[in-house]
A = this chain, B = another copy of it.
Amino acid sequence: MKAFTVGQVARRAGVGVETVRFYERQGLLDEPERKASGYRQYGGGDVAVLRFIRRAKQLGFTLREIKALLALRLDGSATRSDVRAQAAAKLADIGAKIRDLQRMRDALSVLTAACHGDGPATGCPILEALDIPEDDGPGGDDHAPARPRRTER
């Protein structure tokens, strides 16, 4: 029977010892058996779980979501469509992030293209585009947080 210490299991999974303890505290990894000395004793399954966590993290899942996936894995009544639902949600999530970033990139590259030459930074279109002149009109309270507010004195 192979039994690993926390350091061995960490090394096999490619994470740090503190991380293993952290995952245990977060409920991602079951509390292992202990030796008489109090040392944690892990088996091959624990290495698999740690690697699972690593891969899922690489796919963009949060620890909270990974915890749910691990629960599905052990839940006999869970179906594939449960797993697919998680994956689809994460795909939507990733897609939204990609679109956000693409919008940022496009806006910024337009600005960068408009900024040529080597004059003083003061007139640079990038800074100018950011530097919005003060809109002092009477309806100028755009984007104000939704909280109690008096009329401006």
Which residue numbers of A lie inside 8 Å of B, CB to CB? 2, 8, 11-12, 14-16, 44, 47-48, 51-52, 55-56, 58-60, 69, 72-73, 75-76, 78-84, 87-88, 90-91, 94-95, 97-98, 101-102, 104-105, 107-109, 111-112, 115-124, 126-127, 129-134, 136, 140-145, 149, 152
Give the 3 A-B residue pairs with the shortest CB-CB distance, closest first: A14-B143, A78-B121, A60-B104
Give chain B residues whose Cβ lies under 8 Å from the Cβ of A112. Answer: 84, 87-88, 91
Interchain CB contact under 8 A, B121 and A83: yes
Min CB distance, A76 to chain B, in Å?
7
**Distance in angstroms between the alpha carbons of A56 and B129 in the assembled complex:** 10
* C-alpha gap A132/B52 in the complex (Å): 7
